[in-house]
């Protein structure tokens, strides 16, 4: 696909291949890893606006960043426009010039609270949220799905309303809420969003290779693509799309493990990197046996020893 920078409000990305916000995974070390492999913009895990308001310790961990990461966007979720604005103005978000608003999360708990994808059914409230967040002075973007179900597609109209409310970019996940992360991506609906607005449109869904990224761009006319679950299995997917230099699987893993140890405590590092190693060995001969050993590892050093045996 053709690489190009994307201007979002008053910031410009390195290119138009983005890493999606992935709950439980897109922490600082993982974002930094993907950025090094060519991701033009990375997003934090989604952060609760109420959690920011009440000073949640977990929220502080989600927002860790430093000067080595460079440009990064934060994603927040909520349904109260004033609390969402307060979140944007919170000092904890100062390192993030771009605030993305989650209007696509399909998780039942989020949906039942009127947050995430539930906002697709309440576009007036969604507009008010964007309008309030823009007042904070932050560059505001919105990530949303094409509808709740296939018989209630809202893409083009919702895109226009988000742009009209002040969003500087939208990302469209080409699936309905009820499909969660399965099923075909609806290229036509993403294309409809692109035709409906003047702001940049990023297409999300089904990118597991550079060929998938190329097809998504060609079929939708979008300005860029967003990679989600595929990055969990291979962060170097960004190398294939952007042309950045690859390195060995062991080099990649040890870099991520080192950065995770530098930021988080031993228990978190052990649990998190066991999960990541399990993703990375998927499809290998003997993967099941390796996973059993990995999930029995009790420390980062044990994990390190196992992966060196696997990949050295």
Read off the pLDDT of residues 41-51 as tens digits, 9 standing for 90 and up. 999 999 999 99
Q: What is the pLDDT of residues 212-230, one digit of tens each?
A: 999 999 999 999 999 999 9
226, 255 in Cβ contact below 8 A? Answer: no
Q: In terms of DSSP H, where are the helices of the chain?
A: 28-36, 49-53, 57-62, 81-89, 108-112, 123-135, 155-165, 187-196, 210-220, 230-233, 237-242, 249-263, 266-281, 287-294, 300-311
What string of H, E and C letters represents the secondary structure of 48-69? EHHHHHCCCHHHHHHCCCCCCC
Instruction: Say how far apart CA 10 and CA 277 lie, in whole Å.
Output: 37
Cα Rg of the chain, angstroms: 19
Q: What is the DSSP secondary-structure string of 142-198?
A: EEEESBSSTTSB-HHHHHHHHHHHT-SEEEEESS-GGGTT-S---HHHHHHHHHH-S
- DSSP symbol at 221: -
| Residues that are catalytic | 105
The predicted structure's pLDDT at residue 97: 95
Count the Cβ atoms, other than its own, within 10 Å of residue 158: 25
Residue 64 pLDDT > 90: yes
Instruction: Say how far apart CA 289 and CA 285 lie, in whole Å.
Output: 9
Instruction: Say how far apart CA 281 and CA 291 lie, in whole Å.
Output: 8
Half-sphere exposure of 25 (CA within 13 A, CB side): 21
Q: What is the pLDDT of residues 271-312, one digit of tens each?
A: 999 999 999 998 888 889 989 999 999 999 999 999 999 997
Handedness of CA 6, 12, 18, 20 (dihedral sign): negative
Residue 15 pLDDT > 80: yes
Q: Please provide the size of the chain in residues.
A: 312
**What phi-psi label fits residue 116: left (phi over 0), alpha (psi between -120 and 50 degrees) or beta?**
left
Provide CB contacts within 8 A for 152, sequence distance 6+. Answer: 176
Q: What is the mean pLDDT of residues 159-171?
A: 98
Instruction: Say how far apart CA 240 and CA 244 lie, in whole Å.
Output: 7
Q: What is the mean pLDDT of residues 185-191?
A: 97
Instruction: Say how far apart CA 264 and CA 67 lie, in whole Å.
Output: 17
Q: What is the pTM of this model?
A: 0.95
Structural domains present in the chain: 7-242 (3.20.20.70), 249-311 (no CATH)
> Which one, of 73, 8, 11, lies nearest residue 39 by Cα?
73
Q: Residue 57 — very low, low, confident or very high, per pLDDT cuts 50/70/90?
A: confident
Share of residues in the chain with pLDDT > 70 (%):
100
Residue 180 pLDDT > 90: no
For the chain, give the mean pLDDT: 95
The predicted structure's pLDDT at residue 286: 83
Instruction: Say how far apart CA 133 and CA 74 lie, in whole Å.
Output: 13
Q: What is the pLDDT of residues 121-157, one digit of tens each?
A: 999 999 999 999 999 999 999 999 999 999 999 999 9
Q: What is the pLDDT of residues 244-266, one digit of tens each?
A: 999 999 999 999 999 999 999 99
Longest dimension (CA), the chain: 56
């Amino acid at each position: 696909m053709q690489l190009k920078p994307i201007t979002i409000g008053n910031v410009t990305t390195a290119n138009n291949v983005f890493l999606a916000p992935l709950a439980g995974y897109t922490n600082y070390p993982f974002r930094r890893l993907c950025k090094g492999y060519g991701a033009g913009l990375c997003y934090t895990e989604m952060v609760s606006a109420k959690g920011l308001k009440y000073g949640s310790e977990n929220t502080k961990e989600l927002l860790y960043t430093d000067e080595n990461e460079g440009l990064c966007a934060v994603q927040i979720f909520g349904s109260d426009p004033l609390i969402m604005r307060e979140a944007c103005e919170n000092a904890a978000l100062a390192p993030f010039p771009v605030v993305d608003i989650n209007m696509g999360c399909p998780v039942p708990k989020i949906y039942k609270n009127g947050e995430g994808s539930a906002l697709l059914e309440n576009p007036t409230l969604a507009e008010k949220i964007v309008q309030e967040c823009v007042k904070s002075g932050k560059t505001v973007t919105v990530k949303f799905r094409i509808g709740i179900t296939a018989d209630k597609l809202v893409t083009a109209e919702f895109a226009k309303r988000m742009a009209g409310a002040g969003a500087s970019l939208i990302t469209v996940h080409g699936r309905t809420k009820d499909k969660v992360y399965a099923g075909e991506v609806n290229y036509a609906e993403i294309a409809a969003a692109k035709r409906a607005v003047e702001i940049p449109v990023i297409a999300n869904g089904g990118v597991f290779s550079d060929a998938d990224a190329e097809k998504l761009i060609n079929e939708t006319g979008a300005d860029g693509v967003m990679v989600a679950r595929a990055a969990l299995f291979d962060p170097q997917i960004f190398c294939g799309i952007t042309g950045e230099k690859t390195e060995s699987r062991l080099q990649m893993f040890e870099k991520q493990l080192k950065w995770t140890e530098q930021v988080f405590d031993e228990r978190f590092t052990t649990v998190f990197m066991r999960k990541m190693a399990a993703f990375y060995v998927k499809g290998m001969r003997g993967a099941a046996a390796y996973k059993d050993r990995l999930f029995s590892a009790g420390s980062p050093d044990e994990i390190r020893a196992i992966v060196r045996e696997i990949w050295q």
